[in-house]
Amino acid sequence: MTRRMTPAPTPTGFRRDINGLRAWAVMSVVLFHLGVPGLRGGFVGVDAFFVISGFLMTGILLKGLDAGKVAIGEFLLARARRILPALLLLCLSLLLLGARVLLPLDYKLLASHSLASLAFLSNIKYWGEAGYFDASSHEKWLLHTWSLSVEWQFYLLLPCLFWAVWRLGWGRRALWTMLAGLGLLSLALSVWQSLSSPTAAYYGLHSRAWEMMLGGLLHLAPAWRQGQDRPRRVLEATGLALLAGSVVFIDGHWPWPGLPALLPTLGTAAVMLAARQDSPLTASAPLQYLGSRSYSLYLWHWPVCVLLSYLGLNQQVLPQLLALLAMLGLAELSWRLAEQGAGRSLTGRPARQAWARLGSWTAIPALLALGLWVAQGWPGRLPASAEAIAAAAVRPTSANKTCHVSEGRHSPMCKYGDGPPAFVLLGDSHASVLVGAIRDALPAGRSMLQLSYSGCPYVLDARFNTPWASARYDCAGFNQWARDTIKALPADVGVILVSRYASRALGANEAPPEERRPGIDFPASGPIDPDRLGHFAAQITRDSCELAAQRPVWLVRPIPEIGRHVPHLISRRLAMGQDPELGLAWADYQERNGWIWKAQDAARRQCGVHIIDPTALLCDARRCATSHQGQPLYLDDNHLSEYGNARLVPVFRQALQAAQPMLHAANAAAAFPRSGEPPADLPVDLPGAQPNGWPAGLPPPSAGPATHSPAAPQRPATALPSTSP
């Protein structure tokens, strides 16, 4: 026996307020992904969409319950008619476009993501690949389809819940209780996992279901009585304020979707509960236009953003404006062709015929994607130089990763070269990638020891903020150990300091500007000094001089950080027939690193340290290069490649050959160790950081004469960092 449910007085028909909310939600997402300043939390638009979706889906299923049935097949067919045509058009268009512009590895990745999107499993795939806020996310053309997969998975579960209520003959109160209980459980999982496993929380249905269930609970709540317009206005204004505040003040560093996600979701719910159909805040013509095309706009906006990133134009205002216009135009075409055209052509057809047509349409992009995945992205379509650079970019480097540590507080102190050590290379990953250049520049019969630690500049009396690291990460402990270890070495062993100081002080420049956060504070204990840069600069000078009191010290000027994955951009620009050189403006380099130059210059004046300047070979008066003879100088966005590494051999050879008299003067009688042999626990004859041969298709670097360094480029006087302390 079934029980018919008494419907609540919920507004019926087309909801202009909800359509306007769609516009606000989609534009917040679009502008956020375009990098518009001040909209750090634009991603909360997706959370608003989830609430709207839960509200509408609950309404559709309630109609079935009120009629005494739950037709799961009809419900899913209606959802498929709404979602699939535009999604199929998007996937097919990208797969066809990829044949012209995507390198094999990128094309294969697009094919696998297309299959996941068409199967509505993309959230699970991206969950296993990376985080939503990673730099690599801007290379995934269909990343945004994760939300469609979450919704579809919810569509499979929600009708089952309603079917159980229908079979048991329960009413709306029981349904409300079930939705509330499951929603609270999902919210609890979301809060817990957003702290313990943020990526899983972001992509998982289990941690997102509460947002859609909130929409369902809203549909089960009674509507406002007619005539209460003032409370409706207050409720609507409060809801929009919560939504707008979330867009402005929330950013990717908040645990999401945990408790903070209540702000935009409750704000969305408040606007919907107010149900003001004539409000200028939701019912205006522009908002209604955008709302009706919000699905197609959402589908097409992200591929356009990826294309901007693909071309290296994602931080330029004019390309961003043109991209916004392109998004709106593509959304209009998709709405007319897919949503209004193909989607409506399925309306009124028998269910079996409609499913058959949807299946045949889906097979076209699915089979194409499968073929491209099997064919490894169809190599040989694009210029050989572009494909060679792209392939080399994913090969592991030959540097001995055992020597560069990222956990604990000790280093294996790898030894490079023959004979007693002449130098210790000390620093972070920027030091580790220079091993090859320094090894090849060593004086005859001398060797080098490597002491490097991931993300760890040699700075004492500091507290390091490393949310990305494991529990065993101990940069401060490593620096103290390195200090004590170097003190025990003979005085004729010099120290070469190389570190990416700016990343710790200002945040990694490969991240979007609004997501950059400093990763260091001073001092190590006690109240934090608000003058981070001033304290940091003074500490660099102080620590360098402490080392220089015992032995010769060489400070290496900061390696230019490009902020974009150089091999990817160069190979893609070559594939499109564009100039591969991107470069970093010298003024931008100076702005980010000038304070470090001042600290190093102060150490040179105060305690006689020596300076090695790689920018003499990497930069000219206008910019720092990213390539040489068409080949990338970097292996990613900030680390020099083996090719770029070899370019610096002359500048290191000149400095280190000239160091011999200084080392002898520091300790004319010193040997290492006192017996003349290295300690038994130091590795000897380790493989160098450079391979025996270059990857196929890449010419060897032109490193210049071996006996002297080319003259430093003539830069404008205003571009040189000041030498004042």
Tens of pLDDT, residue by residue over 328-380, are 999 999 999 999 988 788 888 898 999 999 999 999 999 999 999 999 999 98
- Model confidence at 174, pLDDT cuts 50, 70, 90, reads confident
Examine the pLDDT at 229 and tell me if it is beyond 90.
Answer: no
Mean pLDDT, residues 148-162 taken together: 93
- Cα distance between residue 438 and residue 646, in whole Å: 9
Examine the pLDDT at 514 and tell me if it is beyond 80.
Answer: no
pLDDT of 715? 42
pLDDT of 62? 84
Do residues 14 and 31 lie in contact, with contact meaning Cβ atoms separated by under 8 Å? no
pLDDT of 131? 46
pLDDT of 263? 97
- Model confidence at 649, pLDDT cuts 50, 70, 90, reads very high
Examine the pLDDT at 488 and tell me if it is beyond 60.
Answer: yes
Instruction: Tell me what the pLDDT averaged over the chain comes to.
Output: 84
Query: How many of the other CB atoms lie within 10 Å of CB of 716?
Result: 10
Do residues 594 and 721 lie in contact, with contact meaning Cβ atoms separated by under 8 Å? yes
Place of tokens 């929009």: 240
37 token code pair: 């300043």
Which residues, in sequence order, are CB contacts of 48 under 8 Å at separation 6+?
A: 21, 24, 25, 28, 243, 264, 265, 267, 268
Examine the pLDDT at 233 and tell me if it is beyond 50.
Answer: yes
pLDDT of 521? 85
Instruction: Write out pLDDT tens, residues 669-687.
Output: 444 443 333 333 333 333 3
Q: Measured in whole angstroms, how far is the alpha carbon of residue 395 from the centre of its chain?
A: 21
- Model confidence at 572, pLDDT cuts 50, 70, 90, reads confident
- Model confidence at 557, pLDDT cuts 50, 70, 90, reads very high
Which of 42-56, 157-171, 310-324, 498-512 has the highest average model confidence (pLDDT)? 42-56
Concatenated DSSP letters of 583-650: -EEHHHHHHHHHHHHHHHHHHHHHH--EEE-THHHHB-SSEE-SEETTEESBSSSSSB-HHHHHHTHH
Instruction: Write out pLDDT tens, residues 17-37.
Output: 999 999 999 999 999 999 898
Partners of 631 in the beta sheet?
628
Examine the pLDDT at 81 and tell me if it is beyond 50.
Answer: yes
pLDDT of 400? 58
515 token code pair: 């997501």
Do residues 33 and 301 lie in contact, with contact meaning Cβ atoms separated by under 8 Å? yes
pLDDT of 700? 40
pLDDT of 230? 86
pLDDT of 432? 92
- Model confidence at 223, pLDDT cuts 50, 70, 90, reads low
What proportion of the chain, given as a percentage, has pLDDT over 70?
Answer: 85
Residue 64 or 51, more confident: 51
Examine the pLDDT at 13 and tell me if it is beyond 80.
Answer: no
pLDDT of 395? 56
- Model confidence at 248, pLDDT cuts 50, 70, 90, reads very high
Query: How many of the other CB atoms lie within 10 Å of CB of 174?
Result: 13
Closest to 452 (Cα-Cα) out of 473, 472, 424 = 424
Q: Worst-scoring range by mean pLDDT, 156-165, 447-456, 485-494?
A: 156-165
pLDDT of 227? 54
- Model confidence at 618, pLDDT cuts 50, 70, 90, reads very high
Quote the pTM value.
Answer: 0.76
Which of 128-132, 420-424, 628-632, 701-705 has the highest average model confidence (pLDDT)? 420-424
pLDDT of 704? 34
pLDDT of 286? 96
Provide φ and ψ at 526, rounded to 5°. Answer: 85, -170
Mean pLDDT, residues 383-387 taken together: 84
- Cα distance between residue 493 and residue 551, in whole Å: 7
Instruction: Write out pLDDT tens, residues 94-152.
Output: 999 999 889 898 999 999 999 999 999 999 999 988 644 444 778 899 999 999 999 99
Examine the pLDDT at 589 and tell me if it is beyond 70.
Answer: yes
Which residues, in sequence order, are CB contacts of 307 under 8 Å at separation 6+?
A: 323
pLDDT of 224? 53
